[in-house]
């Protein structure tokens, strides 16, 4: 069943006080939630890399995260690289092979995975990876990195910093060979391969959840609502390596007119990426002010700070989005549905809080009694 941990707090300011020594820290920081367009940091014959960072998107700086979108052309290789900050990558479109080299593996063995749409790769700091598109159409990979302070990762070739003499000794070869390697190496980024990669052992392993990879397509939905949609969650209970990454994820599919029940996460910020359909997102801060009212479409992004209630509702084409969380064990509370905080309160308390009579309070507490996480659209005849 659900791997989500559900708690109830009476007021949002209490939740903020638990999460921080300053109960209003997040309200002070997250003043501007309006999303910005990504910046193209690399463009070449193999594709492009776009980034959302705190330089132009203040909410990302406040959350200590960065995000990006990688478009890999058919036959292109995303050069081997490693980062010094944790990250999660999600295949949004297409099929790719991904190689992962774990520095904690004493045998230094490479794991190569065949990845499809919806597959997730978790990368602790220091893990090296490469990505290759062997398909006939563009592949798109979304990623989020951070949640470990203010570190910054790079993507340059670190071996360029060593002298050819040092490398010749380390690699046990001549300086001439080393110079040839360094001079021939292409710039970091994406490049089309001039040769067919072939069908060797690095062409991908079986599609099973193991180690660094989680296949959403193989996972049973944690929540599934008739006419509403479904939610698949990913945390360290399902994927233990996320403990070392400090991140989690949700894959949400909403049917036409359905909505995610208004909720807030106590212990993690969210970064949302819409990869299909359209809809709307509303976010409210801990003071009850609307912090964001955003129309969503394919490619839209948004940051939702922890303790900020939010809801997303799908448009006429439905909506699919992935939500990356800056915690590997998310804790959430709801304002609607059968897990609503109001359903757990005495009727007289709710009546006093809203200044309404008991009959309206009873209606409020019983509404959504059959819904969990997702609320389906109203049917004809509903009030």
Whole-model pTM?
A: 0.80
Q: Beta strand pairing status for 331-334 and 5-6? A: parallel
First to last CA, the chain: 32
The pLDDT value recorded for residue 159 is 59
Q: How far apart are CA 310 and CA 290, in angstroms?
A: 10
Kindly give, in sequence order, each residue whose CB lies less than 8 Å from that of residue 4, ignoring residues fewer than 6 positions away.
222, 233, 235, 330, 332
What's the pLDDT at 107? 60
**Cβ contacts of 36 within 8 Å, gap of 6 or more:** 52, 56, 57
Q: Which domains does the chain have, with CATH numbers?
A: 36-213 (2.60.120.10), 220-375 (2.60.120.10)
* Distance, CA of 219 to CA of 264 (rounded, Å): 24
* Closest residue by Cα to residue 128 from 96, 80, 71: 80
Amino acid 117: pLDDT: 92
Residues 20 and 7: their CA atoms lie apart, in Å, by: 17
The CB-side HSE value for 305 (13 A sphere, CA atoms) comes to: 31
Residues of the chain under the 50 pLDDT cut: 1-24, 148-155, 197-204, 206-209
Is residue 194 within a helix (H) or strand (E), and if so which, with residue range? none
Contacts of 258 (CB under 8 A, 6+ apart): 225, 227, 228, 229, 313, 314, 318, 374, 375, 376, 377
Predicted pLDDT of residue 21: 41
Partner residues linked to 112 by β-bridges: 99
Assign residue 149 a region (left: φ > 0; alpha: ψ between -120 and 50; beta: otherwise): left
pLDDT, position 55: 86
pLDDT at 305: 95
- 3-state percent helix, strand, coil for the chain, nearest multiple of 5: 20, 40, 45
The two three-digit tokens of residue 167, written as one number: 């490398």
């Amino acid at each position: 069943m659900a791997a989500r941990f559900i708690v109830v707090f009476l007021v949002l300011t209490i939740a903020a006080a638990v999460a921080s020594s300053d109960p209003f820290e997040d309200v002070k920081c997250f003043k501007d939630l309006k999303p910005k367009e990504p910046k193209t940091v690399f463009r070449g014959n193999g594709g492009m890399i776009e980034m959302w960072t705190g330089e132009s998107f203040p909410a990302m700086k406040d959350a200590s995260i960065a995000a990006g979108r990688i478009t890999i052309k058919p036959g292109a290789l995303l050069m081997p690289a490693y980062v010094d900050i944790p990250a999660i990558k999600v295949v949004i479109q297409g099929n790719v092979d991904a190689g992962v080299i774990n520095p904690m593996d004493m045998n230094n063995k490479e794991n190569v995975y065949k990845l499809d749409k919806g597959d997730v790769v978790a990368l602790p700091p220091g893990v090296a990876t490469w990505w290759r598109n062997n398909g006939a159409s563009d592949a798109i990979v979304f990623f989020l990195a951070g949640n470990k302070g203010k570190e910054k990762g790079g993507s340059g070739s670190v071996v360029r910093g060593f002298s050819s003499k040092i490398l010749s000794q380390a690699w046990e070869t001549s300086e001439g060979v080393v110079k040839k390697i360094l001079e021939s190496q292409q710039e970091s980024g994406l490049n089309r391969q001039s040769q067919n990669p072939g069908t060797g052992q690095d062409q991908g392993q079986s599609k099973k959840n193991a180690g660094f990879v989680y296949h959403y397509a193989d996972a049973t939905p944690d929540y599934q609502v008739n006419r509403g949609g479904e939610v698949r969650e990913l945390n360290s209970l399902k994927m233990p390596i996320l403990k070392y990454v400090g991140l989690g994820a949700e894959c949400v599919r909403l049917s036409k007119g359905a909505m995610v029940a208004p909720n807030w996460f106590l212990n993690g910020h969210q970064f949302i990426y819409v990869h299909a359909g359209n809809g709307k997102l509303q976010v409210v801060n801990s003071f009850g002010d609307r912090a964001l009212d955003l129309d969503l479409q394919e490619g839209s992004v948004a940051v939702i700070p922890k303790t900020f209630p939010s809801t997303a509702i799908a448009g006429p084409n439905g909506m699919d989005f992935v939500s990356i969380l800056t915690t590997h064990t998310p804790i959430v509370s709801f304002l609607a549905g059968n897990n609503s905080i109001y359903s757990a309160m005495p009727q007289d308390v709710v009546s006093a809080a809203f200044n309404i009579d008991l009959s309206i309070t009873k209606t409020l507490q019983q509404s959504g009694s059959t819904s969990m996480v997702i609320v389906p659209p109203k049917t004809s005849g509903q009030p």
